[in-house]
Amino acid sequence: MLYNKNGDKMRLRNVKNKQQIMDASSYLVKDPIQYCGKWNTYFNNSQPIHIEIGTGKGQFIIGMALSHPEINFIGIEKYDSVIARALEKIPENISNLCMIRMDALMIDQVFSKEIETIYLNFSDPWPKKRQTKRRLTSEVFLKKYDSIFYQDATIVQKTDNRQLFEYSLCSFSQYGYQFIDLSLDLHHSLIEGNVMTEYEEKFSKKGQSIFYVSAVKKLSSHTKKD
């Protein structure tokens, strides 16, 4: 991750050969905008599509793809050095996974009414009040997400930052989301099927509580995908 639990920025290690790694990887989609509204043609199937915004070094999204071959997964990461490390970790011959290097603000230019679930794992909390609109659970982003979901909107969030979690619960509720699952201590809850991120694994070993919510909103104006 690029911040610590207090919201302070952490130094990003540069990967010197990041461009070569990105150029050589068949899992990195170089021009994702061309697939907007037709990602099923990229995967060559009609399976549900789940995305992770801020995929980090890839442990979560790779684990999910391996555990759920019936679902297509797309990892989105803003930083070249980080996504390069994720690309290096992907085993060969995974047909239900790809990665995109882009800023999340572009998300409604890359997807259109085709996403089933969004995962937000340990997102940057942007703790200062003037940074509120940059949070991935702010109204700015929730409005963008509306246009990429194809039917019901489902967002799953994990974080160790209480301030961000409390903010997100209020933001979701005010925007019409209902909570399906919620935990203030995920690893000591009855919630099943959790796949840990690198960051989550590290801090849970130190006894850090992980906050979790699965939130759903009906999008009645959308037509169900064929």
- Under a CB-based contact definition with an 8 Å cutoff, are residues 194 and 120 in contact? no
> Angle CA(55)–CA(61)–CA(64) in degrees, nearest 5?
160
Tell how far CA 215 is from the center of its chain.
14
Tell how far CA 106 is from the center of its chain.
14
Query: What does the alpha-carbon distance between residue 127 and residue 124 come to, in Å, rounded to a whole number?
Result: 8
- 186 burial class (0-12, 13-18, 19+ CB within 10 angstroms)? buried
Q: Given 8, 80, 124, 226, which residue is catalytic?
A: 124
- Residues β-bridged to residue 215: 155, 179
Give catalytic status of residue 103 as yes or no: no
Q: Phi and psi at residue 73, in whole multiples of 5°?
A: -120, 140
Positions annotated as catalytic residues are 124
